[in-house]
Amino acid sequence: MRAERPQDRWFATVAGALLLTSGPALGALVAGAPGAAAGLVAGAGAAAGASHLLRRGTRRRAAALALPFPQSWRDFLVERYDHYERLPPEWRARFEDDVRLFLAEKRITGIGTDATEDRRLLVAASAVTLTLGWPDAEWDRLTEVLLYPDDFDRDYAFGADDEEGRAGEAHPWGTVILSVPTLEESFEFDDDGYHVGLHEFAHLLDVEQARFDGMPAGLASQARRAWPALVEQETDRIRKRRSVLDEYGAEDVVEFFPVAVEAFFERPQPMRRRHPELYETLRDYFAQDPAAWEDALGRRA
């Protein structure tokens, strides 16, 4: 994530040009030469207003990066997030910048519970983990994160039983719902291949034309062609209980990718050892290599 987004500069240039040219044309159509002059003035004002709004977003993002990363946040992440601790120094610095920008840009709302600073950090860490290797990623598809006080059922009633309960949900229009107790447990137990934050944000990487189709967006062409066969192969291994991936990944093709993402970041060495093709595909896709970072720390799993 960047303080100044290239797409904002492009949009400001194009929008400004359109407003400047369309104003005189519309004015001339309505009132001739006097209308064209008035349209030019109006178009220039509208272009300036659009540019100001975009610059305000850039200033807000720059301000978020201007202050040092709070030591209390760093201590919290070291204590609560194993993946943050394994990051090499340059990657950790990038992670901290992305966390600040995510929190400055994205709306996180508590529903029946408080969106505390610690909880907001857990949400941001979940999302940023996935996009850390993509400098231009912005989570544009994300509109809001809702924090619930408990698991919920299909009618969004809290306190659902184990069979009907949902710990999280992602909607194609960009809303992500997370159960706070399950989110906190996901960070507490960091090597079980289950992480509701990673799982639900991974779903948003799968949105294609306002629906989930099981194919992560942005896969390289060769990986995209190979993906269906790879999913079929790995799903079969899950069903035969010969996989490090959670069984939930075999329930629906749409669930396979998020479950694979959980294992990739929480059990990278076992995944690389037992599922080398899948690991390499996700390593190239995310431009991250958590198993190699584990190796560098002398860890073995």
Q: Mean pLDDT across the chain, nearest whole number? A: 88
> Quick one: pLDDT band at residue 139, thresholds 50, 70, 90?
very high
Q: What percent of the chain has pLDDT over 90?
A: 70
Please say whether the beta carbons of 246 and 254 come within 8 A. Answer: no
Note the pLDDT of residue 107.
Answer: 97
- With 50 as the cut, is the pLDDT of residue 11 above it? no
- With 80 as the cut, is the pLDDT of residue 68 above it? yes
DSSP 25: H
Residue in 264, 228, 261, 235 with CA at minimum distance from that of residue 250: 235
Residue in 235, 265, 279 with CA at minimum distance from that of residue 253: 235
Residue in 245, 298, 297, 236 with CA at minimum distance from that of residue 274: 245
Please say whether the beta carbons of 256 and 231 come within 8 A. Answer: yes
Work out whether strand 144-148 and strand 108-110 pair parallel, antiparallel, or are unpaired. parallel
> Quick one: pLDDT band at residue 247, thresholds 50, 70, 90?
very high
Written as six digits, the tokens of 147 are 């924090």
Which range among 51-60, 241-250, 287-296 shows the weakest confidence by mean pLDDT?
A: 51-60
Report the chain's C-alpha Rg in angstroms.
23
- CA angle at residue 119 from 113 to 121, to 5 degrees? 155
Phi-psi region of 71 (alpha: psi -120 to 50; beta: other; left: phi over 0): alpha
Please say whether the beta carbons of 61 and 101 come within 8 A. Answer: yes
- The residue-averaged pLDDT of 119-134 equals 98
Whether the pTM exceeds 0.85: the reply is no
- With 90 as the cut, is the pLDDT of residue 61 above it? no
Note the pLDDT of residue 190.
Answer: 87
- With 50 as the cut, is the pLDDT of residue 12 above it? no
Q: What percent of the chain has pLDDT over 70?
A: 81
